[in-house]
Amino acid sequence: MHGQMMQMPLLISSLLTHAERNHGDREIVSRRVEGDLHRYDYRGLGRRARQMANALKAHGIRHGDRVATLAWNGYRHMELYYAVSGSGAVLHTINPRLHAEQVLWMLEHSGARVLFFDLTFMPLIEQIAARATRIEAFVAMCDRANLPRVSLSKPLVSHDGLIAAHDDDFEWPPLDENTAATLCYTSGTTGNPKGVLYSHRSTVLHSLAAAQRDAFNCSAMDAILPVVPMFHVNAWGLPYVACMVGAKLVFPGPWLDGASLHELIETEGVTLSAGVPTVWQGLLAQVEASGAGFKTMRRTIIGGAACPPPMIAAFQDRHDVTVLHAWGMTELSPLGTVCSPKPGVTVDSAEDQLALQAKQGRAPFGVEMKIVGADGADLPHDGRSAGELLVRGPWVAASYFRRADEGMLRDGWFPTGDIATIDADGYMQITDRSKDLIKSGGEWISSIDLENIAAAHPAVAMAACIAVPHPKWDERPVLVIQRKPEAQVAPEELLALYHGRIARWSIPDQVFFVDAVPVGATGKVLKAELRARFSDPVAAVN
């Protein structure tokens, strides 16, 4: 027997319509590439998104066509989030920090017909325009006055000019909820990037889960600052969640340094922010140096890489900002887990509390997780057994875009490539990415554990632990350390931190100091680069 309820497709356009009707005057504030602060509200967003939808239609953008962006977090990007997906086309967001050749490869692979870009990326556009064969038009995300006077082989128009030429009378089409909405490529540290094609349904379900109290805990009372970029995994879904709950949105544009972020947080009354650990380092350094605190910000979501416990402690103990440690992946839209409290999970000391929060957390409804050993058999959820993490759920990718299915799923589960433990309370902890694992004398050593210990030293700005080849033990762990400006620390002092805390054989063999730990396009440490540099320790020292 069928239930007798309405069939309403879960559509991205309905998020915007909801925000316009119920939170019409809630603000969206953006620092623009032009240098000033722009503000309007959900009503303004709705109007301009519909005008842009008319402009896309006039250009002949049809159902399923790809429209690409190379842009920071800002209101014009937000307009495209809704105009493109809402009208049935696919928004292909591209990470502008990638190499020009990779950007070009993705444009060709996705077959995007129009490319929108922030003025910052004009040089990149000039570099790739002639070779971007599928692109029919370029749109600079600015007003007519700021349109660059350059000649490209294809038409170049301004975003505001396009909008001004069309009215806001547009009906969002009643799409099938499984229609593709956005496309994001994984950063592809090995091989070509892989595209993940999200649907309207997966996006709306992901937003419902992400907004929950035990996840990102979002409400109409919040002012949300997504530092996490809209060009990578849809800024963790926050542009959708904000419409869903009616939160104020604050976009930082290209200014991601500590001082700019802090000023925006204070002047706009931000209550919740989200970003990768490397971004928060700058912010923390800024507030510690200036002695300023946070008047309104009470929560920050940190994910994308393991959050070092000293960072959690700094936010919570010194600034009264609760850290929500989260784990996810491009293939998971991205939310997989959030480390939120649970009754019955007792912590006896501040150190235990930090150890709990260093875990990546629990799965919300909609994400199922399991860990398996090398033989594929399920491992117990005892907090000790570490194995490959597999997930499934309605916002987990089932295959990659335009790629012959290389058996991406295993018995209906997506193998994440992360190595993790899960404890009896359901808290998952990543010990490593499988390709970064350190295998020494037949045992696995968790690089994240070793990094967290070194990161606790006050002179350490960033710690990365990598495997180097060893004739007897196969591999041995070594530490690569970036010191804080002006700070000094000897290798022996760092290595002394490990004694008595971990098994002797897992203590790193050596410490190398670098000016800057290399970080990739999505804010993660480039361990492959470090391995290449330090795999011959003798050579590296000299």
Identified catalytic residue from 126, 439, 443, 505: 439
Q: Which of 78, 106, 306, 312 binds ligand ADP (CB under 6 A)?
A: 306
Q: Which of 30, 330, 340, 506 binds ligand ADP (CB under 6 A)?
A: 330
Q: How far apart are CA 170 and CA 112, in angstroms?
A: 23
Q: How far apart are CA 509 and CA 481, in angstroms?
A: 13
Among the residue ranges 162-170, 249-257, 299-307, 471-479, the one whose residues contact ligand ADP (CB under 6 A): 299-307
Helix and strand counts by DSSP (H, E) for the chain: 17, 24
| 417 versus 426: smaller Cβ distance to ligand ADP | 417
Nearest CA to 484 out of 464, 507, 511, 513 is that of 513
- 444 counts as catalytic: yes
Identified catalytic residue from 179, 186, 330, 337: 186
Strand order of the β-sheet with 156-158 is 156-158, 137-140, 114-117, 66-70, 90-93, 180-185, 195-199
Nearest CA to 409 out of 396, 418, 422, 425 is that of 396
- Residue 514's SS3 state is strand
Pairing of strands 460-470, 474-483: antiparallel
Among the residue ranges 66-74, 157-165, 212-220, 303-311, the one whose residues contact ligand ADP (CB under 6 A): 303-311
Shortest Cβ 187–ligand ADP spacing (Å): 4
Q: Which of residues 122-161 bind ligand ADP (CB under 6 A)?
A: none
Pairing of strands 248-251, 27-31: parallel
Shortest Cβ 400–ligand ADP spacing (Å): 12
**Applying CB under 6 A, does 466 fall inside the site for ligand ADP?**
no
**Applying CB under 6 A, does 183 fall inside the site for ligand ADP?**
no
If phi > 0 it is left, if psi is from -120 to 50 it is alpha, else beta; for residue 375 that is alpha
For residue 334, cis peptide bond before it (omega within 30 degrees of 0): yes
At residue 135, what are phi and psi to the nearest 5 degrees?
-75, 130
Shortest Cβ 420–ligand ADP spacing (Å): 9
| 223 versus 525: smaller Cβ distance to ligand ADP | 525
**Applying CB under 6 A, does 465 fall inside the site for ligand ADP?**
no
- Residue 189's SS3 state is coil
| 142 versus 367: smaller Cβ distance to ligand ADP | 367
The distance in angstroms from the start CA to the end CA of the chain is: 75
Say which amino acid occupies 125.
I
- 421 counts as catalytic: no
| 160 versus 418: smaller Cβ distance to ligand ADP | 418
Question: For every residue of 61-114, which 3-state class applies, written as one string?
Answer: CCCCCEEEEECCCCHHHHHHHHHHHHCCCEEEECCCCCCHHHHHHHHHHHCCCE
Site string for ligand ADP, 419-458 (x = CB under 6 A): -----------x--x-------------------------
Shortest Cβ 450–ligand ADP spacing (Å): 14
Q: How far apart are CA 53 and CA 170, in angstroms?
A: 7
**Applying CB under 6 A, does 20 fall inside the site for ligand ADP?**
no
**Applying CB under 6 A, does 186 fall inside the site for ligand ADP?**
yes
- 368 counts as catalytic: no
* Residue 278 vs residues 303, 419, 463: alpha-carbon distances, Å: 10, 22, 11
| 305 versus 511: smaller Cβ distance to ligand ADP | 305
- C-alpha Rg value of the chain to the nearest Å: 23
Among the residue ranges 99-107, 414-422, 461-469, 530-538, the one whose residues contact ligand ADP (CB under 6 A): 414-422
Shortest Cβ 360–ligand ADP spacing (Å): 5
Shortest Cβ 337–ligand ADP spacing (Å): 8
The residues near 417 (Cβ < 8 Å, ≥ 6 apart) are: 388, 433, 434, 435
| 49 versus 302: smaller Cβ distance to ligand ADP | 302
| 118 versus 418: smaller Cβ distance to ligand ADP | 418
289, two tokens = 């140096």
| 268 versus 418: smaller Cβ distance to ligand ADP | 418
| 253 versus 328: smaller Cβ distance to ligand ADP | 328
| 68 versus 329: smaller Cβ distance to ligand ADP | 329
What DSSP element (H or E) covers 145?
none
Identified catalytic residue from 268, 331, 388, 451: 331
| 233 versus 238: smaller Cβ distance to ligand ADP | 233
Q: Which of 74, 96, 239, 303 binds ligand ADP (CB under 6 A)?
A: 303
**Applying CB under 6 A, does 482 fall inside the site for ligand ADP?**
no
**Applying CB under 6 A, does 327 fall inside the site for ligand ADP?**
yes
Q: Which of residues 84-103 bind ligand ADP (CB under 6 A)?
A: none
Shortest Cβ 197–ligand ADP spacing (Å): 14
The residues near 478 (Cβ < 8 Å, ≥ 6 apart) are: 465, 466, 467, 468, 508, 509, 510, 511, 512, 534, 537
What DSSP element (H or E) covers 240?
helix 238-245
Q: How far apart are CA 105 and CA 334, in angstroms?
A: 23
Q: How far apart are CA 420 and CA 429, in angstroms?
A: 5
318, two tokens = 């010194």
95, two tokens = 């990470």
Site string for ligand ADP, 200-239 (x = CB under 6 A): ---------------------------------x------
Q: Which of 69, 73, 322, 360 binds ligand ADP (CB under 6 A)?
A: 360
**Applying CB under 6 A, does 304 fall inside the site for ligand ADP?**
yes
Site string for ligand ADP, 491-530 (x = CB under 6 A): -------------------------------x-x------
- 331 counts as catalytic: yes
What residues act catalytically? Answer: 186, 331, 439, 444
Residues forming the site for ligand ADP (CB under 6 A):
186-187, 233, 303-306, 325-330, 360, 416-418, 430, 433, 522, 524
